[in-house]
Amino acid sequence: MASSVVKVFYNSLGTPEIYDLMQRLKPPSLELVLLDRDDDGERVAKVRECEAIIAAATRLTRRTIEAAPRLRFVQHQGVGYHDTVDVSALAERGIRLAVSTAGTIGVAEHAVMLALAAARRLTFADPELRTGRWHANSLRPVSMELAGKTVGYVGMGRIGQAAAERFRGFRTKGLYADPNVRLPPEREEELGLAPASLDRILREADVVTLHLPLTSDTRNLIGRDELSLMKPNSILINTARGGIVDEDALAAALKEGRPGAAGIDVFETEPVTANHPLALLPNTVLTPHIAAGTWDSFVGKMDTVLSNIAAFFDGRPLQNEIVLGPAPDRSAALLDIARRGP
């Protein structure tokens, strides 16, 4: 084990329950440095003596990184480091980065939940009933079942496959686009999947669900032109990152009924305001970036995160390290496959 205690800074403001869990799970070789307020000044002051940082939804900025002269390792508690960590600042100093994959099940289940809720207009029906308006028949023309429908997956990594496993339980069939993943034939058969271009997915799928990172190449990947290809009464699900979808274009498309509904967990600017264009529509199901935010997931994340940090300072192999450098961006290939097909 490490010969001295390593100070680890948690870059997000947690609740007492979160802090208590972290303290209980951490090995004796680590000392947690925690925030009292969601304040960048406090971050800069507290990170100064730390050798490791745990990053989450709160962006880990260059300012915070540069305020930590002893920093050697950053551990993201999820996988979405692309838009939450200043990777350039880490690379310049040779600071290593790893991610955690413990949120897979929560995100996959959330995607299915959003699809079901959007398919039955749950967020419209519930508040209407509570005010005495009874829509027993008026929602029939816009409601649908998942059974027998086609689900299109944009991205077929860990979460895409976990989502496909769960949608398959509803007797769906599927199409998927991912330039870096071609599933073995037996896995495609198991999940009822076939590879396809993004254009084909948008034209044919009853549900389109996004499972890819936000990068300069995937920003606004789903815009006005792409939305215009979707079927009337189809559903768009986004549990990935908000900037992948042009939100203004989506709001306009939803008003025109193509797609017919959307289930959105992530937004370009978070938190959203009450007058957000998607919040004003009856055919949206909106959640506050909580797809991976279950207690089960957090327990798993913290266990692996803290163990990985201890492994780094012990000189043991890391799990899920990200190689920082000029590696090719997989999302650029996704844009290409969107037009040419697999």
Q: Beta-carbon neighbour count of residue 78 at 10 Å? A: 20
Per residue in 171-201, pLDDT tens? 999 999 998 899 999 999 999 999 999 999 9
Q: Which of 63, 171, 270, 316 is catalytic?
A: 270
Least confident range of 82-91, 124-133, 205-214, 317-326: 317-326
Annotation marks residue 270 as catalytic: yes
State residue 336's pLDDT score.
44
Q: Report long-range pairs for 41-46 (Cβ below 8 Å, ≥24 apart).
A: 43/9, 43/11, 43/67, 46/9
pTM metric for this prediction: 0.86
pLDDT of residue 340: 41
Buried b (16+ CB within 10 A) or exposed e, 212-235: bbbbebbbebbbeebbebbbebbb
Catalytic pick among 200, 241, 276, 330 = 241
Strands 73-76 and 150-154: unpaired
Known catalytic residue: 258?
no
| Known catalytic membership, residue 63 | no
Domains (ranges, CATH) in the chain? 6-102+294-328 (3.40.50.720), 104-286 (3.40.50.720)
Whether the predicted pLDDT of 124 surpasses 70: yes
**pLDDT tens track for 35-77:** 999 999 999 999 999 999 999 989 999 999 999 999 999 999 9
Choosing from 59, 82, 289, 321, the catalytic residue is 289
